[in-house]
Amino acid sequence: MPAVVVEQLSNRNCLLTLSPALAKLPYLSQFLQGAVVRYSARLSLRPAQADAVLVWGKKPSAAKGERYAARQQLPVLRLEDGFLRSLGLGLHCPPYSVVLDDEGIYYDASGPSRLERLVQQPLTKIQTDRASALQQAWQRGRVSKYNHNRDLLQLPVEPFVLVVDQTYGDASIRFGLADAERFWQMLDAALRQYPKHRIVLKVHPDVLTGKKQGHFDALEQRLSAADFARVQLLAEDAHPACLLEGSTAVYCVTSQMGFEALLWQKPVYTFGMPFYAGWGLTVDALPAPERRGAVSLQQLIHAALIDYPRYIDPETSQPCEVETLLDWLALQRSQRSRFPLQVQALRFPRWKKPILRKFLQGSQLTFVKQAAERDAYQTLAVWGVKNSTDLAAPRLHVEDGFIRSVGLGADLIRPASWVLDNEGIYYDATRPSALETLLQQQDFPAELQARAERLIQLLLQSKVTKYNLGQSHWQRPVGKPRVILIPGQVESDASIQLGSPVLKTNLALIKAVREANPDAWLLYKPHPDVQAGLRVAGSAEQQASQYCNEVVLAEDMAHLLTLVDEVHTLTSLAGFEALLRQRRVVCYGQPFYAGWGLTDDRYPPPRRGRQRSLAELVAATLILYPCYLSSVTQAYATPEHVIAQMQQLRQQSGDTAPWWRLLLRKLIALNKF
């Protein structure tokens, strides 16, 4: 936004609103860039203290504020939802974008608005390029004003044009210089101008249920039989992106879908005067106001999405640029679409149920106690693979992710990442998993590999591992040219039973490593769950000191990996973390990272063998395969964001477990929780 405009709108020390609801709008002070918004039913605030009166658009409730502003000779500022508003609807999800207008409001074509003036501002090359990049990001992210719905699964096979209805009495219709008859003119024009196309008539879902009224109640009576046969009513609350992408052209009265159709580079026909009409970019049934003239699409995009609105970063609750919010919404949409719409979950512990709801927040989730209660047509979510082989597909196997938490899963620490695998699970080497399929079949673009390289560096700099626990006191023994770390595992875990076909115990691994490396300094670290008393130690694991030079207990894995030369393991994730640090890794089992040419495999996985780079392995394992949740919003997050949150939490929590955590461990060990 030009500096003068920002100064005019932001140079308000006090904005007075007479609307209690508006005064309670989340993020209002952040949207107004520090301006103070105050509400007083008794008007205890003297008019001389107020710089302007804030109202919501041109709703009937705004009239009271307008009258007060006129009496006190104060300017009126109008607030409205932005064009990239939120993830969900209305009261259930506050806006992350608003527009603030001191000249009018964008949907009122009867008078000027600040948006109209911004649209006509000339752009520099940098601004033009930014607008074009934003248009591409909009398409790539498949975003819209609201972003909670999934794409429509089935679109018409034949070519179609999209005709958009609106709810009867929508204020944007009247302020857009249109009326109910304009909708029939729009439908007739679509039928005549595209005689060989199907007409998809998008109506509001509440219209067919009778909650609201649309404009096409007498459709069959007013159309000929031939025309009526060409019209397909679409009342499903589908996401606009799929409809706009698949359509040949879009017909609107004043709906924002017309603007979004321009972003999708579709021909747009208008039968009212919405904010995006009258600029030479649409085919308009109404004459444009003299205030408007020909502009480029980039000018409209820059004004409507960059200059005019104000945005809030959902993660920080602070002002941000449009690209930040767009990327966040695009991530929510892509993650919500990964899993089936209907999912049932079998025998999940009570403490994991709300967590699973978060990881499947784009699906309708129900819990069943017995397999016999399931709906055979719905996907069944199960923890891991234990006792799931006898369950009929489709199944979704759930497990901890590779960057899990600051603290142990067995401690009931809430996870930051889980994996939800519809093929198998990553630690089961007896059959394929979605991760293995990714590594076998996926092409990894250069941009994704570059992101993976940056992610590796971030992990190394932040010293983040799976659990992020322990101290950093251990020092490498002086004069020992070859130090090998052997990470202990919980021997009853499925990762050993299903991922290590020959060796099954920690002691067997230790003996094999010592036999193959008689002169090396062997360092053994028991599994942290065993050390915490949450899991049973391995058989004869106490004999480790007879074969190893040193046994370390409360040391941070990231610290150890920086000081050793090699890691020898059955299937431990420590082997993957060692690869990130360019350490030699010898696998005596078949973990997910073995078999791709990056490890020394004593028992090579038979299905694998494709050569993969470390960046490709990381892209599949840490970016594409898991799901991450933000500890702030409990919405989906990127691994980079989760790592930053873990760094902050680790700094705050320190290395010592609090007393209540120690008590909880005892209760867990006694099966009392």
pLDDT tens-digit series, residues 151-165 = 876 888 899 999 999
Residues 507 and 629 occupy one common structural domain? yes
Residues 100 and 230 occupy one common structural domain? no
Residue 226 is encoded by which pair of tokens?
Answer: 């031939």
What residues make up the domain containing 529?
Answer: 444-666
Residues 19 and 90 occupy one common structural domain? yes
Q: Does 238 reside within a domain?
A: yes
Contacts (Cβ under 8 Å, ≥6 apart) of 643 = 403, 458, 459, 462, 464
Cα–Cα distances (Å) from 147 to 84, 144, 208, 218, in that order, read 9, 6, 22, 31
Residues 308 and 253 occupy one common structural domain? yes
Q: To 5 degrees, how large is the angle CA 260–CA 119–CA 143?
A: 20
Q: Does 671 reside within a domain?
A: no
Residues 662 and 552 occupy one common structural domain? yes
The C-alpha atoms of residue 257 and residue 237 are separated, in whole angstroms, by 14
Lateral strand order in the sheet of 342-346 = 364-368, 342-346, 379-383, 395-400, 417-421, 626-629, 636-637
The C-alpha atoms of residue 116 and residue 191 are separated, in whole angstroms, by 32
Say whether pTM exceeds 0.85: yes
Residues 178 and 109 occupy one common structural domain? no
Q: Where are the alpha helices (DSSP H) in 240-294?
A: 240-246, 257-263
What is the number of alpha carbons within 13 Å of residue 313 lying toward its C-beta?
12
Query: Hunting for tokens 């006090």 — which residue is that?
Result: 14
Q: Does 328 reside within a domain?
A: no
Residues 622 and 500 occupy one common structural domain? yes
Strand partners, 313: 318
**Sequential DSSP letters for 86-152:** BSS-GGGS--SEEEEESS--TT-TTS--HHHHHHTS---HHHHHHHHHHHHHHHHHT--SB--SPPP
Q: Does 357 reside within a domain?
A: yes
What are 491-540's pLDDT values in tens digits? 988 999 999 999 999 999 999 999 999 999 999 999 877 776 666 777 77
CB atoms within 10 A of CB 44: 8
Q: Taking each helix axis as running N to C, give the angle between helix 446-462 and helix 573-580, from 0 to 180 degrees, rounded to the nearest 10.
A: 100
Using an 8 Å Cβ cutoff, are 205 and 302 in contact?
no
Q: Kindly report whether the peptide bond that precedes residue 274 is cis, defined as omega within 30 degrees of 0.
A: no
Final residue of a structural domain among 278, 313, 348 = 313
Residues 237 and 308 occupy one common structural domain? yes
What's the distance, CA 217 to chain centroid?
38
Torsion angle, CA of 149/640/406/592, rounded to 10 degrees?
90
Final residue of a structural domain among 281, 313, 345 = 313
Q: Does 321 reside within a domain?
A: no
Residues 507 and 640 occupy one common structural domain? yes
CB atoms within 10 A of CB 657: 17
Residues 63 and 194 occupy one common structural domain? no
Final residue of a structural domain among 60, 95, 119 = 119
Q: Does 323 reside within a domain?
A: no
Q: Does 329 reside within a domain?
A: no
User: Which amino acid appears at position 39 of this protein?
Assistant: Y
Collapsing DSSP to helix, strand or coil, 262 comes out as helix
Residues 70 and 142 occupy one common structural domain? no
Regions in the chain scoring below 50 on pLDDT: 1-8, 408-412, 659-665, 668, 672-673
pLDDT at residue 401, rounded to an integer: 92
Report the domain count for the chain.
Answer: 4
Q: Does 326 reside within a domain?
A: no
Using an 8 Å Cβ cutoff, are 215 and 166 in contact?
yes
Using an 8 Å Cβ cutoff, are 183 and 194 in contact?
no
Residues 399 and 477 occupy one common structural domain? no
Q: Report the length, in residues, of the chain.
A: 673
Gyration radius from the chain CA atoms: 30
CATH of the domain at 213: 3.40.50
pLDDT at residue 423, rounded to an integer: 95
The C-alpha atoms of residue 541 and residue 539 are separated, in whole angstroms, by 5
Using an 8 Å Cβ cutoff, are 392 and 376 in contact?
yes
